[in-house]
Structure 1
């Protein structure tokens, strides 16, 4: 008989479960149409308009093909505009449209409430520590992952 793991003791399982909880709360309280990754794209473009897709992918920790698909959808929805970079015609620069800015504005408060709800499930003294731990885990890059193998 194969040995079975106690999944509730494994960080990967817990991270996946936490993501499921976040996704369900997001759909219930923020938006079913604008997912958390799409929100990340809109938010990044609001903070730094005129960036290219490669930069956007890096800043949002999304792969370039996913960003490409999302940008197409967001452009079709008139939330994001694309213009050719005059200095480098191979690059397309992205910005929020006025409609995109309005939508993002309407999503900020509910997104903050989800963050507060999730962090509020922890004792106050552990909230900053939880954010720090998750930030460190999220910052592991491919090189660090391969060095540990």
Structure 2
């Protein structure tokens, strides 16, 4: 693939992310601030992690992560536990309430997406389903190549 083609694909990918955010997430009333929600989503994707590891993934300073985690713990959305393999390390993980919050938000987005599908003809819906499937498989393949 030429460098120009790769550049074009990367720009279309960014445009897709912006469109998804603008049309399905921007007006979503998340019950916690975005940085806290990002921590919850990271824990959901990666499981129990250290505060430092989550902060590094999200590019959030240790001081900010400490504050975020204190608020999420006080809200009952995450819990802290000592790492069984290294007693000096503390892991944070989602509680059932944190999992429920994410599920509730995902359901809101899913329902909005379903309502939006009504604006497409059946053949456009089929094409979109195939395109999303291809996108997801391609991203997975690209991610495992590193």
Structure 1 residue 65: Cα displacement: 4.4
Q: Is 1:80–1:95's contact at 8 Å kept on the other side of the alignment?
A: yes
Q: TM-score when scaled to structure 2? A: 0.57
Secondary structure at 1:88 match in 2: coil
Separation in 2, partners of 1:80, 1:17: 33
- Larger helix proportion of the pair: 2
Aligned-residue CA RMSD in angstroms?
4.2
Corresponding position of 1:127? 132
- Structure 1 stretches of 4+ with a deviation exceeding 4 A read 67-72, 113-118
Task: Return 5+ residue gaps in structure 2 as ranges.
Answer: 118-124
**May I ask how many residue pairs the two structures share in their alignment?**
128
Q: TM-score when scaled to structure 1? A: 0.56
Corresponding position of 2:122? none
Separation in 2, partners of 1:138, 1:67: 25
Corresponding position of 1:145? none
Corresponding position of 1:20? 18
Corresponding position of 2:33? 33
Task: Return 5+ residue gaps in structure 1 as ranges.
Answer: 1-5, 142-149
Larger deviation, residues 74-83 vs 36-45: 36-45
Corresponding position of 1:52? 49
